[in-house]
Amino acid sequence: MNDLLAKLGFKESTRISDIQFREKIELRSEHKLTGQSFYTVYTGIRMIQYAIEKLQQEDYEQPDVENLYLKGHHYAAKNINPTIQTVWEEIVANPLNKAFINKVRKQFKRAVINQQRCPTLIADIVSMFKKVAYGGLLAEQTKQVEKAVRVVASEKAYFQEKYAQVVVGEEFSKEVEQFDILLALNYKLTDTISEIEQRENLIHKMAMEFKAINSPDLRRTIKDRIDAIKAKLKPPEHSIFPKNFYAVGDLMAIRGENPKIIDLIKEYNGEIFFRSSWDSAGFTNNPIKNAALVVGMILEGYALSYHLIFLQKQLESSQSQAPTHVQLLPIKLKWKGQKNQLYDVLRILKGKGMLLNSYEDLAAFLKQHVDIFAETNLSTILKEIGKDKRPPKGRRIEID
């Protein structure tokens, strides 16, 4: 029986998706989320879910064959797009279909004996493949219905008020996607940018991070930090993004705006989250990850706006506390003694552990800051100061 399709004129390599396209198979109205008029949307979704489950549990049209809607559902759930030959071989091999297969065998044999075509048999087999294809559509719709159930249950009052006794259309489907993203990010319908910032304590964390910096030049550090933030908030000259989302958050803070997270998701839902062509900056073809990235950048930009004000105040404070700058002129020591006397004094102090500089440092100091060494080569000074040779007793400078 496995070669029956070829004998009946079927192209065995035809895939179930080809059947769906060629036969123009579409979901029935009772299985669609859109186009329904519900007393309450939650009840309506449950009705669709029940209708799908009922169809997958029992096929009353062909009781002697396994549930082909469910078979198609299983294929789609595993992302399998089988050929009709594969489907047929599995049907033939399933003991549940034994009575049906025997009937087909007799019907085909009779047609061969009478040299007749088998239009009824062909139609029955095509009908079977159409059920498998329809089951694939139901698999995707089941995901959407389950998502809608989860979303509506989370904000039941909102959806029941908005869609009660209303024909559900594309707007509802969009809102399901948007609220699904909101839930995946662990936000509520009422959450705003300001509330999320306070919850995550971003502005305070930025201030504490700055105060922990130990810098010898605090003013320079503040200015560098301000410049870095301003560069982050400035739109790049060449960007794949329609806008700088850090700058979006900054502008919200400047204007005193406090939008809800759901409104941000609605604004950028189609433009950003569902694009699959991003090639940088962490964007992917995952709308939830894209949404988290965008909301995170807006939130950071919002906090950075307040951090800039904090840094400006720190800069003003450091300006008022800055000491008066005094220009120091280079001064040379005027040594009246001999060079070897000064060498000796420095060697003694170094030997007592009172001078920690190296001989190279001391030689450079003598060359730069003592008048009688101005014309002496640095190498000569280093050589002489390193000698373990004291002046005659009458010329020694005693250090107790």
CA atoms within 13 A on the CB side of 320: 5
Q: Read off φ and ψ for residue 86, nearest 5 degrees.
A: -65, -45
C-alpha dist (Å) from residue 263 to 140, 199, 208 = 27, 19, 31
CA pair distance 324, 56, nearest whole angstrom: 85
State CA 50 to chain mean position distance: 36
- What residue type is 249 in one-letter code? G
Closest CA to 87 of 51, 49, 135: 135
**Which pTM was predicted?**
0.59
Contact of 52 with 45, CB cutoff 8 Å: no
For each successive 10 residues of the chain (400 residues), what is the average pLDDT?
81 92 87 64 72 73 80 90 93 88 85 77 89 89 83 83 71 84 89 93 92 85 91 70 81 91 83 54 74 90 92 81 56 87 86 84 86 87 84 81
Helix (H) or strand (E) holding 37: strand 36-37
10 Å Cβ neighbour count for 174? 13
Cβ(117)–Cβ(111) below 8 Å: yes
Q: Show the tokens assigned to 195.
A: 């509330």
The predicted pLDDT at position 329 comes to 62
How far, in Å, CA of 324 to CA of 266, rounded? Answer: 56
Q: Name the residue with tokens 């059947």.
A: 19
The alpha carbon of residue 97 and the mean position of all alpha carbons in its chain are separated, in whole angstroms, by: 49
- Span between the terminal Cα atoms of the chain, in Å: 117
Label residue 92 exposed, middle or buried (CB < 10 Å: 0-12, 13-18, 19+): middle
Show the CA angle centred on residue 295, arms to residues 290 and 297, nearest 5°. Answer: 95
Q: Distance between CA atoms of 203 and 303, rounded to whole angstroms?
A: 5
For residue 350, the tally of other CB atoms under 10 A from its CB is: 16
User: What are the C-alpha distances in Å from 364 to residues 200, 335, 368, 381?
Assistant: 56, 16, 6, 8
> For residue 230, what is the enclosing H or E element?
helix 218-233
Report pLDDT for 208: 92
Predicted pLDDT of residue 327: 55
Tally the C-alpha atoms within 13 A of residue 159's C-alpha that lie toward its C-beta.
Answer: 26
User: Are 343 and 386 a contacting pair, CB within 8 Å?
Assistant: no
Cβ pair 164, 40 in contact under 8 A: yes
Instruction: Give backbone dihedrals phi and psi of 240, rounded to 5 degrees, phi first.
Output: -80, -10
How many Cβ atoms from other residues are within 10 Å of residue 314's Cβ?
19
